[in-house]
């Protein structure tokens, strides 16, 4: 499985720093007294009696939302870092303890004395993950999982799940609102959402990619993982009006043979630039070298014309950095003269 949560990206666009630094810089205001917050989240009822003061984020996606909301001083730890922190959040991130580079043990999380635990993936807070939500909640620690990993998604199989309907960026905005409400910083949440919406509008303005086909390759050269129709790459594709050559599968990251890939012959290849070593051809450099030397792929249109856009793993995940993915693919379409 590609497990996008283990990817590392290229350096993100500078525009991310400009739009998010304003939300993420500076200390958080002291939590104000307020009534308990109750949310329905991925089939669980989450009740938070007061704004958390010692939150632990178990995946980078939730971490970067919290940092973007200016909550570094209310975080007791982060874990499962797959990418360099989003540009503009470096200072805030330095003030939060990293309790593990990858998935921590349940005991290590409890050592941080958390009063709230958040994760980007159902598998992180499930069987075989750090711990189940019930294990935390039996200890009085409320938990939260990114709704993008459960809304309209079936995670019951052995792969990365499948989606009954396309994910939308509104689900990511909903996560921002949820976390802002939990911490009592609703105005910051709306400011962050407004900045993300503005970036989406700017990135897609004037683009007509209706005749352009895309392919998203996450990892593995032997049995490559390509994006199906409906996850974060689908958000990018639909925002730009293009078409994913594998939009006929609802699997999140199906493994597809190279003969089928070559037969679909996309106009543009969106390539995950990873630094992990758990699969073959992780980095973009390795992927491109493979594409340009393999007899099945070297004559593909995108390969012959070197039409490559490199994305971070986080941009291929449903996170605030999916907006970064829209920006980068849009820039690639313009650069290659495919933007209409």
pLDDT at 276: 67
179 and 232 part of one domain: no
In a domain, residue 138? The reply is yes
pTM metric for this prediction: 0.87
- Between 69 and 277, the more confident residue is 69
Q: Tell me, yes or no, whether 19 and 153 share the same domain.
A: yes
239 φ, ψ (degrees, to nearest 5): -60, -30
Pair 225, 117 in one domain: no
CATH number at residue 254: 3.40.50.1980
- At 11, the pLDDT band (50, 70, 90 cuts) reads very low
Classified as helix, coil or strand, 161 is: coil
Residues 87 and 63 in one domain: yes
Same domain (yes/no): 329, 193: no
The reply to whether 340 falls in a domain is no
Share of the chain above pLDDT 90, in %: 81
* Mean predicted confidence (pLDDT) in 305-318: 93
Find all residues with CB under 8 Å of 220, minimum gap 6, and list them: 2, 255, 279, 280, 281
Same domain, 144 and 250: no
User: Do residues 215 and 192 both lie within one domain?
Assistant: no
Residue that terminates a domain, selected from 172, 201, 230? 201
How many independent structural domains does the chain possess? 2
In whole angstroms, give the CA distance from residue 55 to residue 129. Answer: 18
Q: Is residue 163 part of a domain?
A: yes
- Listed ranges 11-15, 23-27, 258-262, 310-314; the one with the highest mean pLDDT: 258-262
Q: Is there a single domain that holds both residue 40 and residue 182?
A: yes
Is 295 within the bounds of a domain? Answer: yes
Helical packing angle, 322-335 and 14-24, nearest 10°:
160
pLDDT at 126 over 90: yes
Given a cut of 80, is residue 52 above it in pLDDT?
yes
Question: How many C-beta neighbours within 10 Å does residue 98 have?
Answer: 14
Residue 71 inside a domain? The answer is yes
pLDDT in tens, 233-269: 999 999 999 999 999 999 999 999 999 999 999 999 9
| Claim to verify: residue 51 and residue 180 sit in the same structural domain | yes
Residue 118 belongs to a domain: yes
Instruction: Give residue 32's pLDDT.
Output: 54
Query: Of the given ranges (18-27, 201-210, 293-302), which has the lowest mean pLDDT?
Result: 18-27
**Which range marks the domain in which residue 323 is found?**
206-335
CA–CA distance, 53 with 45 (Å, rounded to integer): 20
pLDDT band at 35 (very low <50, low <70, confident <90, very high): confident
Q: Do 94 and 132 belong to one domain?
A: yes
> Quick one: pLDDT band at residue 21, thresholds 50, 70, 90?
very low
Could you tell me if residue 162 is inside a domain?
A: yes
Final residue before a domain boundary, out of 143, 178, 201: 201
Residues 219 and 77 in one domain: no
The residue among 201, 228, 262 that closes a domain is 201
- Note the pLDDT of residue 274: 78
Q: What is the pLDDT of residue 18?
A: 36
> For a pLDDT cut of 70, what percent of the chain falls above it?
89
- pLDDT one-digit tens code per residue, 160-213: 899 999 999 999 999 999 999 999 999 999 999 999 999 999 999 999 999 999
Given this model, what pLDDT does residue 113 score? Answer: 98
Q: If 0-12 CB within 10 Å is exposed, 13-18 middle and 19+ buried, where does residue 263 land?
A: exposed
Q: Where on the phi/psi map is residue 43: left (φ > 0), alpha (ψ -120 to 50), or beta?
A: left
Does residue 271 lie in a domain region? yes
**Which tokens belong to 37?**
């917050």
Torsion angles phi and psi, residue 162, rounded to 5: -140, 155
Q: Are 212 and 196 found together in one domain? A: no
Q: 318, 148 in Cβ contact below 8 A?
A: yes
């Amino acid at each position: 499985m590609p497990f996008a949560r283990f990817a590392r990206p290229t350096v993100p666009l500078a525009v991310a720093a400009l739009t998010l630094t304003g939300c993420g810089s500076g200390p958080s205001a002291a939590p104000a007294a307020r009534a308990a917050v109750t949310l329905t989240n991925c089939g669980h009822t989450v009740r938070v009696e007061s704004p958390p003061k010692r939150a632990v984020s178990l995946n980078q996606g939730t971490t970067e939302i919290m940092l973007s909301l200016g909550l570094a001083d209310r975080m007791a730890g982060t874990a499962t870092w797959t990418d360099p922190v989003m540009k503009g959040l470096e200072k805030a991130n330095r003030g939060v303890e990293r309790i593990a580079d990858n998935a921590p043990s349940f005991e290590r999380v409890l050592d941080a004395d958390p009063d709230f635990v958040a994760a980007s993936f159902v598998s992180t807070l499930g069987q075989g993950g750090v711990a189940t939500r019930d294990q935390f909640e039996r200890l009085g620690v409320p938990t939260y999982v990114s709704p993008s990993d459960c809304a309209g998604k079936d995670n019951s199989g052995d792969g990365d799940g499948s989606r009954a309907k396309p994910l939308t960026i509104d689900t990511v905005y909903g996560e921002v609102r949820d976390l802002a409400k939990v911490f009592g910083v609703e105005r910051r949440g709306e400011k962050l959402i407004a900045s993300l919406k503005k970036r989406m509008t700017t990135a897609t303005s004037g683009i007509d990619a209706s005749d352009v086909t895309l392919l998203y390759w996450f990892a593995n050269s032997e049995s490559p993982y390509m994006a199906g129709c409906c996850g974060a790459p689908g958000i990018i594709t639909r925002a730009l009006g293009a078409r994913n050559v594998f939009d006929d599968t609802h699997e999140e990251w199906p493994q597809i043979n190279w003969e089928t890939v070559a037969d679909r012959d996309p106009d543009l290849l969106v390539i995950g630039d990873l630094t992990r070593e758990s699969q073959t051809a992780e980095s973009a450099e390795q992927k491109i070298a493979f594409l340009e030397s393999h007899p099945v792929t070297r004559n593909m249109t995108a390969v012959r014309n070197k039409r490559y856009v490199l994305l971070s793993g986080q941009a291929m995940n449903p996170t605030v950095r999916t907006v970064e993915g829209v920006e980068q693919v849009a820039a690639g379409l313009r650069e290659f003269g495919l933007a209409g």
